[in-house]
Amino acid sequence: MVYVYYLPEVKALAVKLYMRNISIEDINNLVEADILARSFRRWSDLFIATSSVVRDPALYEQRGAPLLITSEEREFILDILRGDPTLYLDEIQRALEEHSGFPVSRATIHRDLHLRLNLTHKVARTVHPGQCPLKRAAYFCKIANFPPEFLVFTDESAICRDALMHNKGWAPQGERTERVPRRNDATRLSLLPAVSLDGILGMIAQPGSIQRPDFEFFLEQVLLPAMNPFPGRNSVLVLDNTSIHHNDFNPIKKVFLVVKSNLRRDRILKGTDEDAEIIKDYVGDLVTPELMRAEFRGCGYV
């Protein structure tokens, strides 16, 4: 038997005429089709039951074995994970059993989380207890008055070779990796860049910490000459002097994560006085307008 597709309009007209006791032959002549009698009966039954000649896919009977976790139980799982996204599988399992009265294996829950709820297990985003939602909202209301191309962000980050060592390695299953000697290199470099949608506007890097005279020199001699008068592109400087908002509002925090991740992979620092210049050249090439647009978007400015 060959499947023949009929438009819903044709089905509706055919059923309407069929229910008026018009013969199937006359209906086929009218709609210029060759509809079988069983199709008329099936469409008529569907119309009587649902007032429609087209079946709703949501009402299709489920095929295959019934799912162990129902849609209601999935909603329950989502609700408890919204309340505490850090729950272990056994904790979800106990809560689900208390809710439904039926035990479900952890393997089934794990499979359902991935395949049907489309959830992935990732590092939890921590929130500083000092964060104030009202102050965050007030900041966004204020910063929303400026186009994203006006904004320039600056902040300091410390870079230490010892912290950039690879912390994972390959080894036979069940065995530890070979010992990786630590450098015991506490040499600290400070990086102070300024970024916008155009990429890097200015940057200094030096051993040790950034002191007030260093920051004033950076502002007066490096950054401000590269900015423009307000209103205009790169004309609004945003300084972050609090750690409780981390990187969700400041794209330069995300830039530091990218820089350190790439430094760890490329291992270009030598532990010499040349490292400051190496970092400046490296960051200048790494932080492109494309990267900055992505980071601005991640912080909600674009």
Q: Is residue 126 part of a domain?
A: no
Task: Tell me the percentage of the chain whose pLDDT exceeds 70.
Answer: 91
Statement to judge: residues 210 and 273 lie in one domain: yes
Q: Is residue 65 part of a domain?
A: no
- Distance in angstroms (rounded) separating the CA atoms of residues 91 and 77: 11
* pLDDT above 70: residue 40: yes
- Distance in angstroms (rounded) separating the CA atoms of residues 230 and 165: 43
Statement to judge: residues 292 and 257 lie in one domain: yes
Statement to judge: residues 54 and 142 lie in one domain: no
Statement to judge: residues 194 and 79 lie in one domain: no
**Which pLDDT belongs to residue 165?**
78
Q: Is residue 63 part of a domain?
A: no
Statement to judge: residues 237 and 274 lie in one domain: yes
Kindly state the average pLDDT of the residues 137-151.
Answer: 91
* Model confidence band, residue 247 (pLDDT cutoffs 50, 70, 90): low
pLDDT tens digit sequence for 2-20: 678 888 888 888 888 888 8
Kindly state the average pLDDT of the residues 134-156.
Answer: 90
Total of domains in the chain: 3
Kindly state the average pLDDT of the residues 236-265.
Answer: 82
C-alpha torsion 288→216→222→252, nearest 10: 0
Please report the sign of the dihedral spanned by the C-alpha atoms of residue 28, residue 34, residue 39, residue 41.
Answer: positive
Which domain range does residue 24 map to? 8-58
Rg of the chain taking only CA atoms, in angstroms: 32
Statement to judge: residues 93 and 224 lie in one domain: no
**Which pLDDT belongs to residue 64?**
55
pLDDT tens digit sequence for 197-236: 999 999 999 988 889 999 999 999 999 999 999 999 999 9
| 126 to 117, 159, 244, 247, 251: CA distances (angstroms) | 23, 23, 10, 11, 17
* pLDDT above 60: residue 154: yes
Q: Is residue 222 part of a domain?
A: yes
Q: Is residue 289 part of a domain?
A: yes
pLDDT tens digit sequence for 85-106: 999 999 999 999 998 888 889 9
